[in-house]
A and B are shown apart, each in its own frame.
Chain A
Amino acid sequence: GQSLEQPSEVTAVEGAIVQINCTYQTSGFYGLSWYQQHDGGAPTFLSYNGLDGLEETGRFSSFLSRSDSYGYLLLQELQMKDSASYFCAVAGGFKTIFGAGTRLFVKA
């Protein structure tokens, strides 16, 4: 089967750096994705790792270690608008499974 674990909540201050971890179990791994979802909105794609290493997109970076079945999303220079839920999602075979989400609270 497939399962993902990520922290339920993270709190950080504006301007800081925060890391959201994700560990997974899956059969037939394609890659690890990250999505952001604001309250009342739809998930939007942030980042994808198909290979080991770091992917950087502006203030957001994502890391994958396939041997450890582990990845993380790194958010730098936090802004109030980054307060949202962040989901890791694992693609295995033709199926993508989403984690339960990490709710990020950014404080002034």
Chain B
Amino acid sequence: EAEVAQSPRYKITEKSQAVAFWCDPISGHATLYWYRQILGQGPELLVQFQDESVVDDSQLPKDRFSAERLKGVDSTLKIQPAELGDSAMYLCASSSMGQGETQYFGPGTRLLVL
């Protein structure tokens, strides 16, 4: 069964350092999402791609976060510099069209900023 892949699974970094997360969606899925989930809360959408184009990044803190999906397949989310408040689970999901249909989530990257 096809799955969304993410790496690393865990990341510990010090504040002011740069971190990067990678996501490989299910093959053929045009839509890719990056979410941030703080413990006890629901996933918060950071950025949504349709193929290689950003369709929503209204909640992405653009002064420190960046995301790209250059060839419309895998994607990288970067934080520079990391802050203590960035400690959270970063989830990647994909779906076939991005119109409310099922999203398939990867296992997530748990980030701890010290």
Residues of A that sit less than 8 Å from B by CB: 30-31, 33, 41-45, 48, 50, 87, 91-92, 94-101
Contact = CB atoms under 8 A, between A and B. Distances in A.
Q: DSSP majority for the A interface?
A: strand
Contact of B100 (A30, A41, A43, A101): A30
Interface residues of B, number: 25
B42 A98 contact: yes
Contacts, number: 56
B45 A95 contact: yes
Interface of B: 33, 35, 40-45, 48, 50, 55-56, 91, 93, 98-108
A42 B108 contact: yes
* B43, B56, B98, B106: most-surrounded residue (chain A CB, <10 A): B43
